[in-house]
Amino acid sequence: MAGNPNSGKTTLFNELTGMRMQTGNFAGTTVSKKSGVWKLPGGEVELIDLPGMYSLKAATLEEKVGAEVLAGTDPEFPHPDAVVVVVDAANLERNLFLFSQITECDLPVVVVLTMLDRAREEGMDIDLEELERKLGCKVLGVNVAEGRGAREIAEAVEDVFVWGVAEYPRPHKPSEEVRCGIGCRGCPFHGRFTWSEQIVSDVVKSRHAAPGRLTDSLDELLTHPVIGLGVFLVVMFGLFYTIFALATVPMDLIELFFSRLGAGLESLMAPGDLRSLLRHGVIGGVGGILVFLPQICLLFFLLALLDDSGYLARAAFVMDRVMRRVGLPGTAFVPMLSGHACAIPAIMSTRVISDARDRLVTILVLPLTSCSARIPVYVLVVSLLFPDRPTAAAGVLVGAYALGITAALTAAWGLKKTILPGKSRPLLLEMPVYKRPNLRNALLHTLEKAWIFIRQAGTVILLISVSIWVMSTYPKAEVPEGVPPEEAERIRLEHSVAGRVGKAMEPVIRPLGYDWQIGIGILSSFAAREAIISGLSVVYGLGEEGAEEQSLLVDNLRKAKRDDGTPVFTPATCYSLLVFYVLAMQCLPTQAVTRVETGSWKWAGFQLLYMSILAYTAALVVYQGLRLAGWG
């Protein structure tokens, strides 16, 4: 399946394959791929969703990958048997340019016209039968979003498998050497554009142009340098408010499930290390991170809706003005936006930035954007600060994201003024049409991200949780008789490996408002940022043996006391921890990717150093300032 970006290809792919899809990257690249099983009337085939492209004369990595697959030179895929070309009916002339190149691959072709409703709104009436005759292949007009056309596409593709290339007469191949006619005179693709213009002239009957479209007025507002930025902030605030308001019930249910599971385990097993490992290392650690699954699912679902509606492209346009002023290229917006999911693929996706200086700056500042791994930490801190105030919680969460974006832009400006001077290139971005978001696509996208998060909780996070339990349990200290249970557990924890490490680093982190137990959590988060949740679950959950039900993590943290009896998680400490996690590097896998993409540990080390200094300094200022203001 091939087509221009924003042609409706992904919606069609999801409808045809449903849940029978696999996602990943093309071999040796960071370009995302989707392939799935498609059931035709006579059997099953593999459907490959190629990245959106404008031409087979590759100008981008995506177009290079698509051209190789269609030519049969991609090492991962055999030569394709047929091509479904998805064509945006409202941009017929531009889309036919790609079609004209695909026909020269000598593959059976079926053309699927999408966006027919939008074409009609713009006064275009397309003669599908005439278009089919002109193109020399089957042409179908569909509205897959409303469930119409999937069967007809399957039957048409089945036909080309049966009849092959010779079923339809091939169209006249437009020569790239032609220089006559009107249009982009002198352009090497002039012949193709002239051919496309002629086809559109023959098959499109214009009825009336829609004057003063509502979308034009919306674009004037959403892309305005001031109003557009304000709308963006309002949209983000509404998004996070919705997350906090709607996720409460499923979070409570997940917490209750793991609490009951831990209590049931204790009733079945005798006291001992094995019971403690299963309850605190496995159930406590994994349960402590899975409780945030509802917020993560809601975030990805709502972002998918915003993207499908066409709004996020307008947000990119608004942010481009700001980014270029601070030294980031306009093309960095997409990697930075994807960095809010994970910094690793975002850094790898900077390969699309052609200028070496621009790419290096983008890589160095990308980890400052708030990735999804930080969400559990943010939610935990905000839950401690505002347990029953979703409006305030949403405001703080928006502030955390804004701080990350501001820090990234400021760091880029600093690099531009110091060690990496230079000018950045503007963003070239096609504005997609406004449309009603496809709920099915958003749900499939959410399920995909949720499963990735669950897999990580069941592997990396589980391993970290068990490791922290082992480090927090051994070696065991001898506790004198008559010592109260809470004091005995404190002695055991301080004597353990984790306790000794935490005590050693406490003088460094004490000015930030952290004790040695928080230090253990911070150390665990260098493997994965969200691992601090499972780390704190283990460290602050120990000592609950014999309790009828395990206390929830947030409750345990609220009750945590320092040696002098004062609360650990005061507002000053919470805000300090939030700022620290917004700005700190911590993710060692990201460091490894930075080294690969820059070709040097020098830049990876520089990235870790400057972000660590920035996070420590900012957290220090926040904690000491709030403590002096009486919030400590």
Tell me: pLDDT of 550 over 60. no
Least confident range of 204-208, 419-423, 550-554: 550-554
What is d(CA 501, CA 499) in angstroms, rounded to the nearest whole number? Answer: 5
What is the number of other CB atoms lying within 10 angstroms of the CB of residue 435? Answer: 16
**Where do the domains of the chain lie?**
2-206
- Which residues contact residue 133 at a Cβ distance below 8 angstroms, ignoring those fewer than 6 apart? none
Cis peptide bond N-terminal to 475, omega within 30:
yes
Residue with tokens 């990234």: 408
**pLDDT at res. 26:** 46
Tell me: pLDDT of 185 over 80. no
Q: At what angle do helices 248-268 and 293-309 cross, to 10 degrees?
A: 150
> Could you tell me if 286 and 465 are in contact, meaning their C-beta atoms sit under 8 angstroms apart?
yes
Tell me: pLDDT of 549 over 50. no
DSSP state for residue 122 in the 8-state scheme: T
Q: Which residues in 54-86 are b (16+ Cβ under 10 Å) and which e?
A: bbbeeebbbbbbbbbbbeeebeebeebebbbbb
Tell me: pLDDT of 425 over 70. no
Q: Which residues in 102-122 are b (16+ Cβ under 10 Å) and which e?
A: bbebebbbbbbbbbbebbeeb
Q: Sorting pLDDT into bands at 50, 70 and 90, what band is 76?
A: confident
| pTM of the predicted model as reported, rounded to 2 decimal places | 0.65
**pLDDT at res. 624:** 96
Q: Sorting pLDDT into bands at 50, 70 and 90, what band is 29?
A: very low
Q: Which fold has domain 2-206?
A: Rossmann fold (3.40.50)
Sheet containing 83-88, strands listed edge to edge, beginning at the edge strand earlier in sequence: 2-3, 83-88, 109-114, 138-141
Q: Can you tell me the mean pLDDT for 278-304?
A: 80
Q: Can you tell me the mean pLDDT for 449-465?
A: 75
Tell me: pLDDT of 114 over 50. yes
- Which residues contact residue 500 at a Cβ distance below 8 angstroms, ignoring those fewer than 6 apart? 494
DSSP β-bridge partners for residue 125: 205
Tell me: pLDDT of 124 over 90. no
- Which residues contact residue 412 at a Cβ distance below 8 angstroms, ignoring those fewer than 6 apart? 323, 326, 327, 328, 361, 362, 365
Tell me: pLDDT of 546 over 50. no
**pLDDT at res. 284:** 77
For all residues of the chain together, what is the average pLDDT?
A: 81
**pLDDT at res. 21:** 57
